[in-house]
Amino acid sequence: MRRTRGMRLGLSALLVAGALAGTGAATASADEPVAGEGLLTALQQDYGLTAEQAEQRLADEAAATEIEPAARQAAGSAFGGSWFDPASGDLVVAVTDDDHAGAVEEAGARTTLVRHSEAALNTTMASIDTLAGSVGAPDAVASWQVDPRANSVVVNVVEGTESTAEVAAFLDEAREAGPVAVRTVGEAPQTFAAGTVGGDPYYTGNVRCSIGFSVHGGFVTAGHCGPRGADVFGWDRSHIGQFQGSSFPGNDYAWVSVGSGWWTEPVVLGWGAVSDQLVRGSAEAPVGASICRSGSTTGWHCGTLLAKNETVNYGNGDLVHELTKTSVCAEGGDSGGAYISGDQGQGVTSGGWGNCSSGGETWYQPLNEILSVYGLTLHTA
């Protein structure tokens, strides 16, 4: 299919990875650096890039984020999903017919022809959600999500369980809903809360979690870290505030009021790996973009945004919908911590599998949904 490169856009000077944050997307002027030196160094280490390649990748990702809304609109009902291609630096948009390709390419994206629209895949996804909610999903069925690159709904199952009677029966019923592909993962997912230990956390009861992004009046975090009304204490055990809203399972988000001498800042912690980073907005990064996470157990780690709108099965009937999957590692106590791409906040840590020694995958609850649900305003620099 035809191919058009989008104009390169500069990122603002600082980016983030950790504890607190803000709203609204901002684009820097072309003469500003695409990132702080610390973040560029981290991306070089995590992706094996040169300094020039790291800077170019961040510029490409910023351009893709900027282009995506217009490209989606241009595709209309033919839209089959989109993702960032790091090899070419393009935003790729799947379309179900050639008639819409030209308009999408004029918006700055590259196109590829697929069979199923995103709307059709979302219908299949909803049917599998309904199936899991009514008959239950086996614990070995880790998650499922619309994958635009596969042009199907991908169901992820723990390796070695595919042929067990319970999993096979669930997959047979899932396939009746529409286009389904099956992939294997190393372990079943779990949330990343932890028992009380030292560190730089917040505490509620005997649970330690991590602060996500600063909002005016408090901060957002994971819902499984505490119920509405629960008291929250800081790293020094002084009182911060209370959970004003919390939702888990189904969702995994919450927000905590801040008072008692505490205040909010539009930054996330770099934990010495990078400098503490300013948050300038919450523009949603595309699949394929680089993304970094900050948490009170494992600090700062980076990886790739793998999938969106994924339903995750944490076992015991605890399903969480519309999470975003990454290749970034995490461990107990990192729950609630911030994910950031460029200088744009993306979400708060929900759970995953693996660890930061052997690797794994993690999911986050998208930030913009939390802001919308609770009517919050992100604290930005």
CA distances from 152 to 37, 252, 267, 326 (A): 39, 25, 37, 18
Number of Cβ atoms within 10 Å of the Cβ of 264: 18
Whole-number Cα distances in Å, 77 to 72, 73, 81, 119, 363 = 9, 9, 11, 8, 28
Q: Which two tokens stand for residue 243?
A: 């959970």
Residue with tokens 């499922």: 144
Q: Can you tell me which residue has the tokens 């494992």?
A: 298
Amino acid at 296: S
Instruction: Please report, as a single letter, which amino acid is at residue 222.
Output: A
Q: Could you give the residue numbers annotated as active site?
A: 224, 252, 335
- Output Rg (C-alpha) for the chain, integer angstroms: 20
Hey, what are 180's tokens?
């389904």
36 by DSSP, 3-state: which?
coil
Task: Give the Cβ contact number of residue 149 at 10 Å.
Answer: 19
What does the alpha-carbon distance between residue 268 and residue 253 come to, in Å, rounded to a whole number?
A: 18
CA-to-CA separations, 312 to 39, 88, 220, 323, in angstroms, rounded? 30, 31, 20, 7
